[in-house]
Structure 1
Amino acid sequence: MSQRREIKDRLFEQFARIGQAMSSSKRLELLDLLSQCEKDVETLASNSGMSVANTSRHLLILKAAGLVESRKEGVHNFYHLANQEVVELYCGLRELAERQLADVERIVDELYPGEERMEPVDRKQLIKLAKAGTVTVLDVRPEDEFRAAHLPHAISVPLPKLKNYLKELPKHRQVVAYCRGPYCLMASEAIKLLQSKGYKAIRLGEGIVEWQAAGLPLVHGS
Structure 2
Amino acid sequence: MGDAVAKAELFDSLARVGKALGSGTRLELLDLLAQGERSVEALARAAGVGITTCSAHLQTLRQAGLVATRRDGTKIHYRLAGTDVAALYALLRDVAGTHSAQAAAARDSYLGADDTEAVDRDELQRRLATGQVIAVDVRPAEEYTAGHIPGALSIPLEQLTDRLAELPDDVEVVAYCRGAYCVLAHDAVRLLAARGRRAARLVDGMLEWRLANLPVDAAT
TM over 0.5: yes
Residue 85 of structure 1 aligns to which amino acid in structure 2? D
CA RMSD of aligned residues (A): 2.0
Q: Paired residue for 2:103?
A: 104
Q: Distance in 1 between matches of 2:90 and 2:190?
A: 27
Query: Unpaired runs of 5+ in structure 1?
Result: none
The 8 Å contact of residues 67 and 78 in structure 2, kept in 1 or not, is answered as: yes
- The match for 1:191 among 170, 189, 200 is 189
Q: Deviations over 1:123-176 (max 9, x none)?
A: 223213223322111001122222222123211112232223211211221111
| Amino acid corresponding to residue 38 of structure 1 in structure 2 | E
The aligned residue for residue 46 of structure 2 is 47
Shift in alpha-carbon separation, 1:197–1:119, aligned structure 2, 3 A: closer
Task: Show CA shifts across 1:26-54 (max 9, x none).
Answer: 10110010000001111111111211110
| SS of match in other structure, 2:178 | coil
1:6 is the counterpart of 2:15: no
Q: State the one-letter code of the partner of 2:75.
A: H
Aligned residue pair count: 220
Once residues 78 and 4 of structure 1 are traced to their aligned partners in structure 2, the CA distance between those partners, rounded to angstroms, is 40
Unaligned runs of 5+ in 2: none
- Larger deviation, residues 145-154 vs 12-21: 145-154
Q: Percent identity?
A: 41
Aligned residue runs from structure 1 range 169-188, under 5 A: 169-188=167-186
Rounded to whole Å, the distance in 1 between the matches of 2:77 and 2:111 is 32
Q: Residues 127 and 153 of structure 1 are in contact (CA less than 8 Å); yes or no, is this contact kept in structure 2?
A: no
Structure 1 Cα separation of the partners of residues 158 and 207 of structure 2: 23
Is 1:128 matched up with 2:126?
yes
Secondary structure of 2:119's counterpart equals coil
